[in-house]
């Protein structure tokens, strides 16, 4: 089957494309790409190519060809979420590889990276293998597992990173359970250099955050909820930066949520430390006020912060301090969230709102479309060493077609993900993926 996407506004930072053009997909690969605005110029240099707009054939009609008129739409490399909880194996009532990847595709993602806090934990190659096989069988998009740094995510003994890397893990993280022992973290950053894989750090000093369920401040006092100070995140970022500098390991900081964290990372980058950082849509879209009324759908770790943190995160995205927008998609069962705030699990089901929320940054002129593609596809691919971020001829046909002006209301009941836990219920978003093409397969 062939797909021809016509008259789209194509953005592919890697090829330096940002303009109207056509793309031809054949057998799951990008077969051709042509930027119309440059056509005249290029025709002078290169011999004429067969015109794409008839599916690459010179005469007649190709019955196998599906033509998509993308006039007024953007066509981007498929988005890559480097922080997803697919929950399988072990928590299939929250999400499965099948439902999670289907939700990803609906959200415009063609690649997701599965965090290891499954049951059993992905701390050995048999779990890695299970996830990869299951994803090939049932997954709608590409799935790359992230292995645990330590066995059982207990922070005590290094997991078999090398074997898991060989099996297909693209990064290592004890996400959710920070490695509190500095020596173990040092070893992880050192050891992982052998495979040139990043260590993704969930930065939280769990002594300082003990028992906390939301951001610490006046609101936590008046709600009577135990607070987590920003410093619980910032202290650990400082530690991990020091260790990264010491070891030369590849450190990636997960879900940055505070103004202080942005400042610390900015300074570290200025000093030339080799680190990258991500944030999530909820950290630049909403504040702790969403918790009011004990809204467990706004319970997430790190917690939602204040407006000044939101502003700092946006600034960090704009100036390049923060490299990646990831979802931290953390689906939970409805019953788990319908509990006392203290006892409800943390997490937001984020795959299906991430692009809409991130497009707000474009509407607000925080990011350009090109920068958005960098944060949501190019940079994650570079950090993880995936070859998935471009529309170059010959690459996998992972493409997302986006209508940036389409307005719609977030309705959790309509989520494909099993996790309906969103704090954005009822919010009107502007911009959504209309068609996602994964290895040449069309989802619309």
Partner 1 sequence: MKLSSKDLLGIKELTKDEIILILDTASGFKGVLKRNIKKVPALRGKTAVNLFFEPSTRTRTSFELAEKRLSLDVLNLSVTTSSVVKGESLIDTALNVQALGADFMVIRHSSSGAAHLLSKNVNASVINAGDGINEHPTQALLDAFTIKEKIGKIEGLKIAIVGDILHSRVAKSNIYLLTKFGAEVRLIGPPTLVPQELEKLGVKVFHDMDSGLDGVNVVMALRIQMERQGKGFFPSTLEYSKNWGLTSERLFKADKDAIVMHPGPINRGVEVASDVADGPRSVILEQVTNGLAVRMAVMYLLAGVRE
d(CA 402, CA 353): 13
Stretches 11-19, 64-72, 312-320, 332-340: which one binds partner 1 (CB under 8 A)? 332-340
Picking from 194, 197, 81, the residue whose alpha carbon sits closest to that of residue 142 is 81
Among 343, 365, 387, 426, binds partner 1 (CB under 8 A): 343
Of 166 and 221, the one with the shorter C-beta distance to partner 1 is: 221
As measured in angstroms, the least distance from the Cβ of 376 to partner 1 is 35
Buried b (16+ CB within 10 A) or exposed e, 116-126: bbbeebbbbbe
β-pairing, 2-12 vs 214-215, is unpaired
Site string for partner 1, 166-205 (x = CB under 8 A): ----------------------------------------
The DSSP annotation for 299-367 comes to --SSPP--HHHHHHHHHHHHTTSS-EE---B----HHHHSS-TTTSPP-B--TTTHHHHHHHHHHTTSS
d(CA 235, CA 204): 8
Q: Per rule CB under 8 A, is residue 338 in the interface with partner 1?
A: yes
- What would the two tokens of residue 417 be? 């993900």
As measured in angstroms, the least distance from the Cβ of 216 to partner 1 is 9
As measured in angstroms, the least distance from the Cβ of 306 to partner 1 is 13
N-terminal to C-terminal alpha carbon distance within the chain: 16
Q: Per rule CB under 8 A, is residue 120 in the interface with partner 1?
A: no
Among 42, 157, 342, 364, binds partner 1 (CB under 8 A): 342
Q: Per rule CB under 8 A, is residue 373 in the interface with partner 1?
A: no
Of 216 and 352, the one with the shorter C-beta distance to partner 1 is: 216
Q: Which of residues 275-304 bind partner 1 (CB under 8 A)?
A: 293-294
Q: Per rule CB under 8 A, is residue 218 in the interface with partner 1?
A: yes
Stretches 57-65, 221-229, 275-283, 428-436: which one binds partner 1 (CB under 8 A)? 221-229
Picking from 212, 193, 196, 195, the residue whose alpha carbon sits closest to that of residue 204 is 212
Is residue 244 exposed (0-12), middle (13-18) or buried (19+ Cβ within 10 Å)? buried
Of 308 and 339, the one with the shorter C-beta distance to partner 1 is: 339
As measured in angstroms, the least distance from the Cβ of 220 to partner 1 is 9
Q: Per rule CB under 8 A, is residue 334 in the interface with partner 1?
A: no
Of 116 and 347, the one with the shorter C-beta distance to partner 1 is: 347
d(CA 398, CA 403): 17
Q: Per rule CB under 8 A, is residue 335 in the interface with partner 1?
A: yes
* Number of CB atoms found within 10 A of residue 263's CB: 15
Choose, from 81, 174, 205, 328, the residue flagged as catalytic.
328
For the question of residue 319 being annotated catalytic, the response is no
Among 341, 402, 431, 435, binds partner 1 (CB under 8 A): 341
Of 57 and 218, the one with the shorter C-beta distance to partner 1 is: 218
Q: Per rule CB under 8 A, is residue 426 in the interface with partner 1?
A: no
Among 28, 217, 345, 385, binds partner 1 (CB under 8 A): 217
Of 152 and 217, the one with the shorter C-beta distance to partner 1 is: 217
Picking from 114, 59, 60, 56, the residue whose alpha carbon sits closest to that of residue 89 is 114
Among 14, 65, 180, 223, binds partner 1 (CB under 8 A): 223
β-pairing, 109-114 vs 79-84, is parallel
β-pairing, 142-147 vs 109-114, is parallel
d(CA 105, CA 436): 6
As measured in angstroms, the least distance from the Cβ of 335 to partner 1 is 7
Q: Per rule CB under 8 A, is residue 333 in the interface with partner 1?
A: no
User: What are the start-end ranges of the H helices in 19-91?
Assistant: 36-45
What are the catalytic residues?
Answer: 328
Question: Which residues would be at the binding site for partner 1 (CB under 8 A)?
Answer: 217-218, 221-226, 293-294, 335, 338-343
């Amino acid at each position: 089957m062939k797909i021809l996407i016509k008259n789209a506004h194509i953005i592919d930072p890697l090829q330096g494309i940002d303009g109207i053009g056509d793309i031809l997909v054949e057998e799951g690969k990008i077969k051709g790409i042509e930027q119309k605005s440059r056509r005249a110029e290029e025709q002078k240099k290169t011999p004429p190519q067969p015109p794409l707009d008839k599916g690459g054939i010179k005469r007649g009609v190709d019955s196998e060809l599906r033509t998509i008129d993308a006039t007024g739409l953007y066509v981007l490399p498929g988005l890559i979420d480097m922080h997803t909880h697919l929950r399988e194996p072990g928590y299939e009532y929250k999400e499965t590889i099948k439902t999670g990847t289907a939700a990803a595709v609906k959200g415009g993602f063609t690649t997701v990276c599965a965090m290891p806090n499954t049951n059993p934990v992905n701390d050995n190659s048999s779990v890695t293998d299970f996830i990869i096989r299951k994803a090939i069988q049932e997954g709608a998009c590409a799935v790359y597992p992230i292995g645990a740094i330590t066995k059982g995510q207990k922070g005590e003994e290094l997991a078999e990173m090398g074997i898991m890397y060989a099996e297909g893990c693209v990064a290592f993280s004890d996400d959710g359970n920070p490695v509190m022992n500095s020596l173990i973290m040092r070893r992880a950053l050192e050891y992982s250099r052998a495979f040139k894989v990043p260590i993704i750090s969930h930065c939280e000093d769990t002594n300082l955050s003990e028992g906390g369920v939301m951001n610490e401040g006046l609101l936590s006092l008046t709600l009577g909820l135990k607070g987590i100070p920003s410093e619980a995140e910032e202290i650990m970022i400082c530690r991990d930066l020091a260790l990264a500098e010491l070891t030369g390991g590849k450190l990636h900081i997960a879900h940055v949520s505070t103004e202080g964290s942005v400042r610390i990372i900015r300074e570290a980058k200025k000093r030339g430390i080799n680190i990258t950082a991500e944030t999530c849509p909820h950290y630049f879209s909403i504040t702790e006020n969403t918790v009011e009324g004990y809204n467990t759908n706004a319970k997430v770790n790190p917690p939602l912060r204040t407006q000044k943190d939101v502003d700092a995160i946006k600034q960090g995205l704009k100036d390049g301090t923060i490299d990646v927008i990831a979802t931290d998609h953390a689906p939970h069962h409805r019953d788990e969230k319908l509990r006392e705030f203290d006892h409800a699990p943390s997490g937001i089901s984020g795959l299906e709102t991430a692009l809409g929320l991130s497009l707000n940054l474009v509407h607000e002129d925080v990011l350009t479309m090109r920068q958005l593609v960098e944060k949501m596809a190019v940079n994650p691919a570079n950090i993880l060493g995936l070859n998935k971020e471009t529309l170059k001829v010959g690459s996998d046909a992972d493409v997302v077609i986006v209508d940036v002006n389409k307005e719609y209301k977030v309705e959790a009941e309509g989520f494909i993900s099993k996790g309906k836990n969103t704090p954005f219920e009822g919010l009107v978003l502007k911009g959504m993926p209309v068609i996602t093409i994964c290895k040449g397969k069309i989802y619309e």
